[in-house]
Structure 1
Amino acid sequence: MITDIEQLPDHAVLQADICIVGAGAAGLLIAREFLGTATQVILLESGGLGAEDATQALSAGEVSEGAFRGLQAGRSRVLGGTTTLWGGQCIPLDPIDLAERPWVPFSGWPIGPDELAPFYERAKQHLRIEQDEYDQPVWERFGLGSLVLDRAKLQAVHGVFIRQPDLGRRFREEIRAADNVRVLLHANVRSIETDASGVQVSRVAFCSLGGRRGSVAARRVVLCAGAIENARLLLLSDSKHPNGLGNDRDLVGRFLQDHPCGRTATIETTDPRRLQDRFNLLYGKRANYLPKLALSEAVQREQKVLNCVARLEYEYEADSGMQAVRDLMEAARGRRWPKGLGGTLARLGRGSPALAGDAWRVLAKGLSPAPRPRRIHLEVFSEQTPQPDSRVVLGRGTDALGLRKVLVDWRLDDLTWRTFGVFSRTVRDEFARLGLGEVRLLDWLDAEVPPRSAVVDSYHPAGTTRMARHAAGGVVDINSQVFGVQGLYVTGSSVFPTSGAANPTFTIAAMALRLAARLKSEIATRNVVTVQQWPARAEATGAG
Structure 2
Amino acid sequence: WRVALLEGGGHEFTPRSQQLYTCTSTGLEMYAHETRLRYLGGTSNHWAGRCRPFTASDFAVPPPVDVPGWPISYSDIEPYLAGAMDIVDLPQGAQFHAINEGLDGGEFEADRFLLSPPTRFAQKYASALEDTPGLDVFINCNCVDLLFDEGAGRLQAVLVSDYDGKRQQVKARNYILAMGAIENARQLLNSGSLAAAGVMRKDGLTGRCFMEHLNIDMGTFILKSGEGTDPRQYFTTDAFVAEYQAGKGNVQAAVLADVQTYGRTAEVKHFLENLACEMGVSSKIEFVAKFSCPGDGVISTLIEQFPNAQSRISLLDERDELDVAKVNVNWVLSDHDRHTIKCIGSELAKQFAATGLGFVKLNDFVYDTSLPLKLSPHAHHMGTTRMAASAETGVVDADCKVFGTDNLYVAGSSVFATGGASNPTMPLLQFALRLAEHLDQKLRLQHGAAA
TM-score under structure 2 normalisation?
A: 0.89
TM-superposed deviation, 1:160: 1.2
Change (3 A) 1:472 1:129: same
**Partner residue, 2:76:** 115
1:481 is the counterpart of 2:401: yes
TM-superposed deviation, 1:401: 1.2
**Partner residue, 2:344:** 423
**More displaced, 151-160 or 73-82?**
151-160
Which whole-Å CA distance do the structure 2 matches of 1:480 and 1:510 have between them?
Answer: 12
Within the candidate set 21, 38, 41, 1:59 is matched to: 21
Residues 170-319 of structure 1 correspond to what in structure 2 (within 5 A)? Answer: 170-195=124-149, 197=151, 199-239=153-193, 241-242=195-196, 245-247=199-201, 249-269=203-223, 271=225, 274-276=228-230, 278-279=231-232, 292-318=233-259
TM-superposed deviation, 1:437: 1.6
Residues 74-473 of structure 1 correspond to what in structure 2 (within 5 A)? Answer: 74-101=35-62, 103-134=64-95, 137-139=97-99, 147=101, 149-150=103-104, 152-195=106-149, 197=151, 199-239=153-193, 241-242=195-196, 245-247=199-201, 249-269=203-223, 271=225, 274-276=228-230, 278-279=231-232, 292-318=233-259, 338-339=264-265, 373-452=294-373, 454-473=374-393
SS in 1 for 2:86: helix
* Amino acid aligned to 1:217: K
Change (3 A) 1:379 1:272: farther
| Aligned partners of 1:310 and 1:381 also within 8 Å | yes
**More displaced, 77-86 or 101-110?**
101-110
| Aligned partners of 1:100 and 1:107 also within 8 Å | no
SS in 2 for 1:499: coil
Change (3 A) 1:339 1:102: closer
Deviations 1:162-212 (A, max 9, x none): 114211111112211122111111111001112351611111111122222
* Amino acid aligned to 1:476: V
Which whole-Å CA distance do the structure 2 matches of 1:415 and 1:240 have between them?
Answer: 33
Deviations 1:83-137 (A, max 9, x none): 11211111011222212436344242111111110011221122222244335x4
SS in 1 for 2:317: strand
Deviations 1:318-367 (A, max 9, x none): 4xxxx5xxx5xx66xxxxxx43669989x9xxxxxxxxxxxxxxxxxxxx
Change (3 A) 1:117 1:272: farther
Which whole-Å CA distance do the structure 1 matches of 2:27 and 2:445 have between them?
Answer: 49
TM-superposed deviation, 1:446: 2.8
1:490 is the counterpart of 2:410: yes
* Amino acid aligned to 1:67: E
* Amino acid aligned to 1:300: V
Change (3 A) 1:176 1:267: same
SS in 2 for 1:456: strand
Change (3 A) 1:154 1:482: same
Which whole-Å CA distance do the structure 2 matches of 1:217 and 1:171 have between them?
Answer: 25
**Partner residue, 2:34:** 73
**Partner residue, 2:8:** 46
SS in 1 for 2:77: helix
Q: Percent of pairs identical after alignment?
A: 28
| Aligned partners of 1:295 and 1:309 also within 8 Å | yes
* Amino acid aligned to 1:390: S
* Amino acid aligned to 2:166: R
TM-superposed deviation, 1:214: 1.9
Which whole-Å CA distance do the structure 1 matches of 2:362 and 2:33 have between them?
Answer: 32
Which whole-Å CA distance do the structure 2 matches of 1:221 and 1:75 have between them?
Answer: 22
* Amino acid aligned to 1:233: Q
Which whole-Å CA distance do the structure 1 matches of 2:226 and 2:18 have between them?
Answer: 41
Deviations 1:138-180 (A, max 9, x none): 34xxxxxx53522621111132111142111111122111221
| Aligned partners of 1:393 and 1:406 also within 8 Å | yes
| Aligned partners of 1:198 and 1:240 also within 8 Å | no
* Amino acid aligned to 1:129: L
Deviations 1:495-530 (A, max 9, x none): 101000111011110000000000011111211422
SS in 2 for 1:312: strand
TM-superposed deviation, 1:240: 5.2
Query: How many residues were matched structurally?
Result: 431
| Aligned partners of 1:193 and 1:204 also within 8 Å | yes
TM-score under structure 1 normalisation?
A: 0.75
| Aligned partners of 1:431 and 1:438 also within 8 Å | yes
